[in-house]
Amino acid sequence: MDAVATHPAPETVDLAIGGMTCASCVSRVEKTLSRVPGVTEVSVNLATERAHIGLTTHPDIAALIAAVQKAGYEATQVVQDAPLPDNTAPEWQERVHLLVAMALSLPLVAGMIVPALMLPAWAQFALATAVQFWLGWRFYVAGWNAARALAGNMDLLVALGTSAAWGLSTWVWLVTGQAHALYYESSALLITFILFGKWLEGRARRQTASAIRALMKLRPDTARLLRDGTEVDVAIDTVRRGDLVIVRPGERIPVDGSITEGNAAIDASMLTGESLPLDAGPGTRVAAGSINTDGRLTIRTEAIGAETMLARIVRLVEGAQASKAPIQRLADRVSAVFVPVVLGIALVTLVVWLVVAADPAQALLNAVAVLVIACPCALGLATPTAIMVGTGVAARRGILIRDAAALEQAHAVTIVAFDKTGTLTEGKPRVTDLVAVDGDQTGLLALAASLQAGSEHSLAGAVRGRAVELGLVVAPAGSFHALAGRGVLGKVEGQDLAFGNRRLMRDHAIATDALDQQAAALEQSGHTVSWMAQTAPTPALLGLIAFGDTVKPTAQAAIARLHQAGLRTVMLTGDSRGAAEAIASKLGIESIQAEILPADKAAAVAALRQDGAIVAMVGDGINDAPALAAADIGIAMATGTDVAMETAGITLMRGDPALVADAIEISRRTTAKIRQGLFWAFAYNVLGIPLAAMGYLSPVIAGAAMALSSVSVVANALLLRRWR
């Protein structure tokens, strides 16, 4: 057995984590899971409440869940392609708890503002105790779990702070019996403010998942099958490949497949971001989730369930939103030591105020203010919330971002390198000129069509198409062999032939002098030239065929937008220099490298990166995969091959070069929101903790500021949804 085969393939598993409240919780869950045997990497996301775990062996789900539960949190396995959970119940519960907390706290606040409305001490005690130990019980449970695991989190800080304020008030009441000297309103309002912040934060976080929810709703639950001439409605899970599905006007297409009968305009805007419906007919491939706007279609099923494009898009968006951006590492390092440091500062504050002011009540209240304002909620939400919104906005525009690292990396791009055919041009070449050395143009075309009868190359398709138009008889080639970046070799009716670029002619010592002048003129006008030659017994040039391709309508404007954004543009193509220069000149591309092999494209990308440039490579074909992998960020057109899409960090769901500029702009705006969020998260604590320690912030104001910090960070990230 081969040695490589003995190593188990890496596994991944996702867990839904319940009970996390701040960045310290994230750090603790990650540390806990990383200690489980076989775990290689862990990424926990506070905004999505998910843990993505990489393992070297088959996952022991029970061991992972047990580890999380031992740390004081809830965990369940996330099933791929399962419906998203209904979050209306927890939202309703949060709202009820908030309203009750407000109702119980208002009488306490009224007495603080208007002395005549001051409640007797026993009434203040009853109201505050209900808030403290009923509505605030969640903080005790989570805080105790954290303390038991010798860790700290937001809940521990809140539980300690509010308990201190409640305990101080109770002690003063029992000792003095005075109602006006109590601080019950501080503990009650603290919990109310925090519940209010959590409710707003939860609403905002649920909005960030709207992109995935919208995608999940696209797939119909049933399909209408054609069986023995009869239409039968069945559950979507029972449909199989090869089944014929009937889709009526106005219905969503339930499967990926090809149209066998009918014509219609297909609205695929939710999948590709394409604003206008596209005309489709027999032979056209359609995707699940698209809308048939105006015709009756019969579709042969090619992919169902998790194999459909829609399911792949959902998985990609979920993966991107669950991943962790490199910039988050700073917040993680800070949050890992944050709570212990805050507890130390609060203790120092208590001691200093006891010594300086000799006022136990004031000392305790200042320490409470430190505990409360320092809760690191915003620190854990700043990055994942912005990532969720940014990837969701991108998905709605037909831009799929593989992970947070790709999203963050794209903002720093300085050079954008483009493939030509299929990326900047339509990729549908047509034969424009035939030049035969012996003058027999029809014979030259027949040889070329026969030689390329089995080729999948776009130029081969153009040759065969032209031969069909002229009614030529095509004999299949023998000994066919394709040479990447050069052309094809084969035998047609006993004649050894080569058809390809000038590099292929040089490899076989075939002189092209006789047609160099015509070839140069065609290339200068933007045509691609392929040469036909006999390789044996005597190498001889037979002629050339010129192809024309149409530049995509949005290509010129897309290049202009990139230049306006301060980016350099480069074209990397295996086409002839003349054809490449003509296209580059038309589009305004600054530099080109032509007549290069796929491996040379990767080397060219590596060379561009040597001077410290951040390079994005845009391509669509299988020959672009090495260059996409070599670039800092690969951008693949989904209209190309699956290999290109699997290699790229960003996939464009429609072949529009304008989406390249869109992807970079979304990355820049998302990164800006991340930095703004982290800045404000740090700023709240850097400014708030000293003010609280010096006695300038009451616990109530500290609680309001802490809640505001989380809400403002999430709300700022949600502004990304307005991007157009």
**CATH at 291:** 2.70.150.10
- Whose CA is closest to 366, among 379, 357, 375? 357
User: What predicted TM-score, i.e. pTM, was given to this entire model?
Assistant: 0.69
Q: Are residues 544 and 445 in the same domain?
A: yes
Q: Is residue 442 included in any domain, yes or no?
A: yes
Upstream peptide bond of 537 is cis (omega within 30 degrees of 0): yes
Q: 611: helix, coil or strand? A: coil
Domain assignment of residue 450, yes or no: yes
- Residues 568 and 637 reside in one and the same domain: yes
Q: Which two tokens stand for residue 144?
A: 């105790």
> Catalytic residue at 575?
no
Q: Which amino acid is at 152?
A: G
- 247 is a domain residue: yes
DSSP 697: S
Instruction: Write down how long the chain is.
Output: 724
Q: What is the pLDDT of residue 298?
A: 92
End-to-end CA distance of the chain: 55
The predicted structure's pLDDT at residue 2: 37
pLDDT of residue 578: 78
Among residues 618, 649, 664, the one where a domain terminates is 664
Say if residues 29 and 17 touch (Cβ distance below 8 Å): yes
For the domain that residue 15 is a member of, what is the CATH number?
Answer: 3.30.70.100
Between the CA of residue 545 and those of 46, 435, 616, what are the distances in Å?
59, 6, 33
Helices 23-34 and 328-356 sit at what angle, rounded to 10 degrees?
Answer: 120
Is residue 714 one of the residues assigned to a domain?
no
Type of residue at 142: A
Label residue 566 left, alpha or beta by phi (over 0 means left) and psi (-120 to 50 means alpha): left
Whether residue 7 is found in the same domain as residue 28 = yes
Residue 483 bridge partners (DSSP): 487
685 belongs to a structural domain:
no
Residues 648 and 502 in one domain: no
Long-range pairs for 129-132: beta carbons < 8 A, 24 or more residues apart: 129/166, 130/104, 131/101, 131/104, 131/105, 131/187, 131/188, 131/191, 131/192, 132/162, 132/163, 132/166, 132/187, 132/188, 132/191
Give a yes or no: residue 680 inside a domain. Answer: no
Which one is catalytic: 14, 155, 403, 419? 419
In the chain (724 residues long), the average pLDDT of successive 10-residue segments reads 39 84 79 88 80 80 89 81 52 85 88 80 92 90 78 75 84 78 78 78 64 71 86 88 90 90 83 72 87 88 82 72 67 70 88 85 84 70 79 83 82 90 82 90 90 79 88 81 83 87 88 89 84 88 89 91 93 82 88 81 87 86 74 79 62 87 91 86 83 84 74 82 79
Residue 453 and residue 543 in one domain: yes
Beta pairing, strands 568-572 & 415-418? parallel
Looking at residue 475, its pLDDT comes to: 77
Question: What pLDDT, on the 0 to 100 scale, is given for residue 9?
Answer: 42
Residue environment code for 628-660, b if the CB has 16+ CB neighbours within 10 A, otherwise e: bbbbbbbbbbbbbbeebbebbbbbbbbbbbbbb
| CA gap 567, 454 in Å, rounded | 41
Residue (of 652, 620, 642, 596) closest to 608 by Cα position: 596
In a domain, 238, yes or no: yes
| Per-residue confidence (pLDDT) for residue 5, from 0 to 100 | 36
Within the chain, what is the greatest distance between any pair of CA atoms?
Answer: 117
Pair 404, 501 in one domain:
no
According to the model, what pLDDT value does residue 697 have?
83
Q: Are residues 451 and 510 located together in one domain of the fold? A: yes
In which region does residue 398 sit, left (phi positive, over 0), alpha (psi from -120 to 50) or beta (all else)?
Answer: left
Residues 21 and 58 in one domain: yes
Domain boundary among 60, 77, 94: 77
Reduced to 3 states (helix: H, G, I; strand: E, B; else coil), residue 508 is coil
Tell me how far apart the alpha carbons of residues 319 and 81 are, in angstroms, rounded to a whole number.
12
pLDDT at 580: 84
Domain that holds residue 498: 430-548
pLDDT reported for residue 8: 40
